[in-house]
Structure 1
Amino acid sequence: MKNLYAPKGIIPVPPTPFAKNDTINEAEYKRLLDYDIERGVHCICIGGSTGEWSTMSLEERKQLFKVAADGIGTRVPKMATTGCHSLSKTLELTQYAVDLGYESILLITPHYLQPGREATMDYYRTVAETFPDLAICIYNVPHCTNVEMPVEDIIELAKIPNITGMKHCTDPTRTNKIIEGTKNEYFESTTGRENMILANLCQGGSGGMGVMCTIMPQELVKMYDLLMENNWKEALKIDESLRNLSILIEAEANPAPVKEVLNMMGFDFGAPRLPLRPCSPELREKLRKELIKLGYNV
């Protein structure tokens, strides 16, 4: 099991570009994958919350996995977001990702029906047992699911050999307890909170997974490399330079701001699907000014 992938480093979660006829713009998606890979990212997570998986059909999610698998190849590890409200659909989508050669999956905590602690644990165990040769990453995002996985449950799941990590969007104190409680396991802890990547690494975590990794891969990879060299002072300078942008990115519903940034950077990612709205003109102007400060010609 030691050869299984564990999330580590700078991991983009790209949004999904939709054409005017509301189909997936495959060419533009591959263009962003190339952009991130060429700037040194360590893995790419496909179809996450930023990818608008919750507004996509199962067939569209499969299409996105296929486009990404073709576009990425073996250049970096691939992580597929396969969680569904239905366990059977989760298993179907996971099998499809396995058949495409994905090294790992991101599995969101069951929500909506509020199954409870034991049922949630059984859900993760079932997926892990069904795919024993696939790395599984827990996705704990309580501000979206209204479900906060208890620290002790995550520590217990980390004992399963192919549950190799987590993406957490929660309180850093809880994260610290998880890092401490899993230090003897083959388990890595990444953050999905855009302004906490440096803090996560300083806590003993393994990196960041999110939209800032998608739009600022070069800067964040450099920050990560500096930290690996114990150059904390220079790494902090990069973190400080990106701080305001990371705050603005979260000022309106994801992925409207990140799509707006990509559009300003020369990509064609359009707007989110309803019920989400495009980025407001006020936030768009703030994002533009921040990108200019960072040296982007927008």
Structure 2
Amino acid sequence: MIKGSIVALVTPMDPDGGLNESALRKLVEFHIEAGTDAIVAVGTTGESATLTHDEHHQVIRWVVDQSRGRVPVIAGTGSNATREAIELTRKAADLGADACLLLTPYYNKPTQEGLYRHYKAVAEAVAIPQILYNVPGRTACDLHPETVARLAAIDNIVGIKEASPDPVARTRELQRLCPDFPRYSGDDHAARQICLDGGAGVISVTANVAPRLMREMVVAALAGDAKMAASVDAKLAALHRTLFLESNPIPVKWALHAMGLIPHGIRLPLTWLSERYHPEVRSALIEAGVL
């Protein structure tokens, strides 16, 4: 089982929107050196929604190649079409990903039975370990705990990233229904409590800019050291908030650019961070000691 601080990696882009391989490879090294436990490539934070399939595969290929087995690579392969999710998951497995992260089918609002069949079909089609991803604020689709408990019985469905409106309450309900099923926080502000409650870790936006602190906090929480976890998390609290002042990954890409780690690039319909938020995000970076 993959545990700890897992970064939901941004996809570096040039000002014209083209992928920047060099910056991506440098980010992978940045995270390995900082102790990040695993890397998610082409998730929501990686702007998967605006990448072509060829670009999607290319980013996974680069991250797998650069990581060289030093940390697990989890590929985002979700889709609102089951056949497409199977194709993306199969390709990620072929490219050497260690696991896949599949968000709930967005926009078409399937029933709970439809969600069960969707995930079951992908799991049966591709043997790679698969992590469910529930983020109803993005998808208009909520994967209910009872459905998760059904899916937990499938061998290669190995966990869930939970980002519902109250992720702490939801993961506690999941713990009651399927206590041995790994639960990852999908919200940075909830990560400490979910880890203290017995979760497996966090799939984090904040870890993009403060990987050492994020891992330090998660390690303490997983060990049950609530005092230490709270102390470290206090340094990250402003980042947890300001990195969502506009839609993710707008603020985090601005922050990484301010840190000199990526170029000034993002794809429409997302835009560069509004100028009025620059001082607030910069202050949070300084508070966390990364700028």
Please say whether Structure 1 and Structure 2 have the same fold, judged by a TM-score greater than 0.5: yes
Distance, in Å, in 1 between the alignment partners of 2:261 and 2:288 is 18
Note if 1:92 corresponds to 2:87: yes
Residues 7 and 188 in structure 1, CA contact (< 8 A), matched pair in contact too: no
Note if 1:130 corresponds to 2:130: no
Count of paired positions = 289
Match of residue 242 from structure 1 = 236
Pairing of 1:161-200 with structure 2 (within 5 A)? 161-170=155-164, 171=166, 172-183=168-179, 185=180, 187-200=181-194
How far off its partner does 1:229 sit? 4.2
SS at match of 1:105: strand
**CA deviation map 1:63-109 (0-9, x unaligned):** 11111111111001110001122222222211111112211100111
Pairing of 1:1-298 with structure 2 (within 5 A)? 6-132=1-127, 134-170=128-164, 171=166, 172-183=168-179, 185=180, 187-297=181-291
Distance, in Å, in 2 between the alignment partners of 1:193 and 1:106 is 15
How far off its partner does 1:296 sit? 3.2
SS at match of 1:190: strand
Residues 226 and 234 in structure 1, CA contact (< 8 A), matched pair in contact too: yes
Letter in 2 for 1:295: G
SS at match of 1:49: coil
Distance, in Å, in 2 between the alignment partners of 1:118 and 1:149 is 10
Residues 7 and 164 in structure 1, CA contact (< 8 A), matched pair in contact too: no
Distance 1:175-1:227 versus aligned 2 partners, 3 A rule: closer
Match of residue 3 from structure 1 = none
Gaps of 5+ in 2: none
Letter in 2 for 1:173: A
Residues 7 and 166 in structure 1, CA contact (< 8 A), matched pair in contact too: no
How far off its partner does 1:181 sit? 1.5
Identity %: 31
SS at match of 1:252: coil
Distance, in Å, in 2 between the alignment partners of 1:117 and 1:239 is 35
Residues 149 and 174 in structure 2, CA contact (< 8 A), matched pair in contact too: yes
**CA deviation map 1:240-295 (0-9, x unaligned):** 11111110111111111000110111112423211111111121111112222233
Distance 1:201-1:228 versus aligned 2 partners, 3 A rule: closer
Distance, in Å, in 2 between the alignment partners of 1:243 and 1:20 is 30
Residues 77 and 89 in structure 2, CA contact (< 8 A), matched pair in contact too: yes
Distance, in Å, in 2 between the alignment partners of 1:237 and 1:12 is 21
Residues 217 and 232 in structure 2, CA contact (< 8 A), matched pair in contact too: yes
Task: Return the TM-score normalized by structure 2.
Answer: 0.95
Residues 7 and 189 in structure 1, CA contact (< 8 A), matched pair in contact too: no
> Cα RMSD between the aligned structures?
1.4
Letter in 1 for 2:230: L
Letter in 2 for 1:112: Y
Distance, in Å, in 2 between the alignment partners of 1:22 and 1:123 is 32
Distance, in Å, in 1 between the alignment partners of 2:91 and 2:148 is 26
Gaps of 5+ in 1: 1-5
Distance, in Å, in 2 between the alignment partners of 1:229 and 1:21 is 45
SS at match of 1:80: strand
